[in-house]
Amino acid sequence: MGRAGSGERRSAIEAIGVSKVFGNGDDAVRALDNVDVTIRENEFFTLLGPSGCGKTTLLRLIAGFDFPTEGEIRLYGEDIAPLPPFKRPVNTVFQNYALFPHMTVAQNIGFGLEMLGKPKAEIDARISEMLKLVRMEELRNRRTSQISGGQQQRVALARALAPRPKVLLLDEPLSALDFKLRKDMQIELKRLQHETGITFIFVTHDQEEALTMSDRIAVMSKGHILQIGSPRDIYDRPAERFVANFIGDTNFLEGQVKEVHGSKARIALNAGAEVEAGISEGANPQGNVTIVVRPEHAAIQARPGADALKGTIENIVYFGTDTHFHIKLASGPHFIVRQQNRHGAGEEFKTGMPVGVEIGQNAAQVLKD
Amino acid sequence: MVSSRTFSVKRQTGFGTIALLCFVLLYVPIATLVAYSFNAGPSIAIWEGFSWRWYIAAWNNQQIVETSVRSFVIASIAAVVATTAATMAALATTRTRPYRGLNFIYGFINQPLMVPEIVTGIALLIFFAIVKIWTGYTGLGYLIVAHTAFCIPFAYLPIRARLENMDLTLERAAADLYATPWMTFRKVTLPLLWPGIIAGLMLAFVVSLDDVVITELVKSGGQDTLPTYMLGQLRRVVTPEINAISSVFLLISIVIVTLFFFLNRKQT
Ligand SMILES: Nc1ncnc2c1ncn2[C@@H]1O[C@H](COP(=O)(O)OP(=O)(O)OP(=O)(O)O)[C@@H](O)[C@H]1O
Ligand SMILES: [Mg+2]
């Protein structure tokens, strides 16, 4: 899982049975429900989930702006409940930046160091370093109200990085940037994290961003963490329907478990073939199950083999780098196959053609629910 | 067109006439008052040509100078004390978790806006009479205390509005960046609150400067402020001198209100 040796790294943040309830009585909202997660030192950890699933709430508990209703949060093994926010070696890049409007860019960046009582020369040097890092040297003395949204986001990042926190919390820090800058900043952030060795806890609802940047991802929904794993784990071996649906395109197929051996199960699909499918840790599939197959893990065949699923092509969508074949299986469900466009490949397929779908080795995964 | 279907009070019959009437009633008397302050003759109704005569007369009138100075002293002290108290009250009512009795506290702070002034005035008159007997003190302090009390809600309202509109994440960001609560207040809350505080200060100042009812009831002999002095003068001979003082008063109010307006506009 993750990088080699990552298992030995110390834990930076641990949440143990953390719940957060807002309000009381009938309009109580359970923003977090019994969340357990361990974030390792020097890790790029991402909280991924749809709007309202509790990502910001978890960050706020770690930063100390709010307290868990139940459970405990530990920083390097110690309960941080007694520490007020200004004593936690944790900095935040806020979802709405929260730059101080009455200060210049440089004053914003230097604020944390000033509060820590660092000498002026050191503060100035660090401000210059940070401005260079986020490529904003020429805007040093601007008011924060006089710079663009993307620039504000970069100042917020520089401001949070300047005091060199142990853990940096980033609440959707790239959401306001245009595509190009966003891509640049993704690489930049990754580089920063690598160079500074700071633990990053990164919040996003963009699955692609999560997959490309993270060491590990926690997928959240309605206050729960559904699955934690490396991007590859999450993408190739989703444990639950929500995870599979939220990340990437997915095909769902129904079937019966025939036998279980180790981490694999043999499934007889209702669509007519048998496949080997992976099982998530701790699951014990029985009877009717759903399996997922990523569109690029299946192949389309003009002359279907014996163990292929039969169907007809309903639609062909050409994307330049690859082509999506929308296939209606003979047994009813729809299935999407994504194929990379090698020169001339796939040109023989036409809408309405009968075809076969072959599910590759290790391509299927059994869902828990 | 969509806009033609929406209700607009401007298109109701009689709107123009009523609006015009309001403007006339509001501004013609004031314009007349200002115009006659430049009258060369001794009448406030018969125009005899332009002159600065009454302004000069007012300037040389010892009593006017004296009561003006007293008014300014009272208003300055009352405004500063009231604004300080109002700032603390506003912080206590916006920067804490909502607690039981908060609405009661709002009512308590804003009491002078709701209780008729004459009632407050009489209450203070009786109360101060008792205090005077106990302490023997008869100075300007009573007026200053009374003015401070009724100025507090005027200072409180703009300060509270400013605090409520302030983005709370700014204070959170400061705490996140190692600022203690005191440093957060000094470096973030207070600088952003200044326009509200200044606005509150000016409002309190104008309200104090302008007060007649409470002052009339609370003042001891020889403690006339400019408004109570003017009121007294009106009962005797009326010359354009009173117009001149009123015009200066008006000018000062306009300047302060304009400043207030610009400070408020900067907030948004
Ligand atoms: N102060 C609060 N009082 C009441 N409910 C709250 C409060 N803060 C958050 N919530 C609720 O808690 C849930 C989680 O909110 P949270 O802000 O953590 O979501 P999020 O995952 O950050 O969403 P987004 O992606 O939109 O920022 C939401 O249902 C929200 O309405
Ligand atoms: Mg959020």
Across A131-142, average pLDDT: 88
- The pLDDT of residue A280: 82
**Count of domains observed in chain B:** 1
| A315/A210 same-domain check | no
Single pTM value for the model: 0.79
* SS3 (DSSP) at A234: helix
Q: Do A111 and B172 touch (CB under 8 A)?
A: no
Beta strand A298-301 with A354-359 is: antiparallel
Task: Give the phi and the psi of residue A139 in degrees, each rounded to 5.
Answer: -105, 15
- The pLDDT of residue B171: 94
**Helices B117-135, B141-165: inter-axial angle, 10-degree rounding:** 130
Q: Do B177 and A63 touch (CB under 8 A)?
A: no
Across A285-310, average pLDDT: 86
Q: Which domain holds residue A335?
A: 249-366
- The pLDDT of residue B81: 97
In a domain, A323, yes or no: yes
Chain B stretch 130-189, residues whose beta carbon is closer than 8 A to a beta carbon of chain A? 167, 169-170, 172-181, 183-184, 187-188
Of B167, B176, B191, nearest to A91 by CB-CB distance is B176
| A186/A264 same-domain check | no
For chain B, how far is it from start to end, CA to CA, in angstroms?
32
CA distance A224 to A48: 11
In a domain, A14, yes or no: yes
* SS3 (DSSP) at B263: helix
Q: Which domain holds residue B212?
A: 58-267
CA distance B142 to B214: 11
What is the whole-number distance in angstroms between the Cα of residue A31 and the centre of ligand 1?
Answer: 6
In a domain, B34, yes or no: no
**CA geometry: angle at B45 spanning B41 and B49, to 5°?**
35
C-alpha distance from residue A165 to each of A63, A112, A136, A174, B13 (Å): 12, 10, 21, 20, 68
| A204/A254 same-domain check | no
User: What's chain A's Rg over C-alpha atoms?
Assistant: 24
Q: Give the whole-number percent of chain A exceeding pLDDT 90.
A: 48
Residue B54 CA from chain centroid, whole number: 27
pLDDT at A131 over 50: yes
pLDDT at A6 over 50: no
Tokens of A23: 């309000």
User: A60-74, A174-188, B196-210: which range is least confident on average?
Assistant: A174-188
- Give the residue, A29 or B268, on which the prediction is more confident: A29
- Which are the contacts of A272, defined by CB distance < 8 A and separation ≥ 6? A309, A310, A330, A331
CA distance B189 to B171: 7
| A212/A263 same-domain check | no
Domain boundary among A236, A264, A299: A236
Tokens of A222: 């309605």
**Please, are residues B198 and B266 in contact by the beta-carbon 8 Å criterion?**
no
CA distance B204 to A205: 50
C-alpha distance from residue A80 to each of A68, A355, B178 (Å): 11, 60, 15
Task: Tell me, using a 6 A CB cutoff, whether residue A53 lines ligand 1.
Answer: yes
Across A38-48, average pLDDT: 94
C-alpha distance from residue B111 to each of A288, B120, B122, B128, B151 (Å): 71, 10, 15, 19, 11
pLDDT at A4 over 70: no
Tokens of A300: 């389309």
What is the DSSP secondary-structure string of A123-154? HHHHHHHHHHHTT-GGGTTSBGGGS-HHHHHH
In a domain, A231, yes or no: yes
pLDDT band at A117 (very low <50, low <70, confident <90, very high): very high
In a domain, A244, yes or no: no
Task: Look up the ipTM and state it.
Answer: 0.79
Q: Do B175 and A65 touch (CB under 8 A)?
A: yes
Quote the mean pLDDT of chain A: 88
Domain boundary among A206, A236, A266: A236
Give the side-chain half-sphere CA count within 13 A for B50.
2
What is the whole-number distance in angstroms between the Cα of residue A184 and the centre of ligand 2?
Answer: 23
**Please, are residues A38 and A60 in contact by the beta-carbon 8 Å criterion?**
no
Q: How close does chain A come to B118, measured CA to CA in Å? A: 44
- The pLDDT of residue A325: 92
Residue A223 CA from chain centroid, whole number: 15
Domain boundary among A203, A236, A269: A236
**Count of domains observed in chain A:** 2
Q: Give the whole-number percent of chain A exceeding pLDDT 70.
A: 97
Across A111-123, average pLDDT: 95
Q: Hey, whose CA ends up nearest to atom 3 of ligand 1? A: A22
Burial profile B188-199: b = 16 or more Cβ within 10 angstroms, e = fewer: bbeebbebbbbb
- The pLDDT of residue B7: 72
Across A251-278, average pLDDT: 86
pLDDT tens string, chain B, 268 residues long: the values are 445 567 777 777 788 888 899 989 989 999 999 999 999 988 888 888 899 999 999 999 999 999 999 999 999 999 999 999 999 999 988 887 777 788 888 888 888 788 888 998 999 999 999 999 998 888 899 999 999 999 999 999 999 999 998 988 999 999 999 999 999 999 999 999 998 999 899 989 999 998 999 999 998 888 999 999 988 888 887 889 989 999 998 998 888 888 877 876 765 4
Tokens of A301: 């065949």
- The pLDDT of residue A8: 63
| A352/A222 same-domain check | no
What is the DSSP secondary-structure string of A5-26? TGGGSPEEEEEEEEEEEES-GG
Q: Hey, whose CA ends up nearest to atom 11 of ligand 1? A: A31
Closest chain A CA to residue B191: A102
Q: Which CATH number fits the domain that encloses residue A202? A: 3.40.50.300
pLDDT at A46 over 50: yes
Q: Which CATH number fits the domain that encloses residue B175? A: 1.10.3720.10
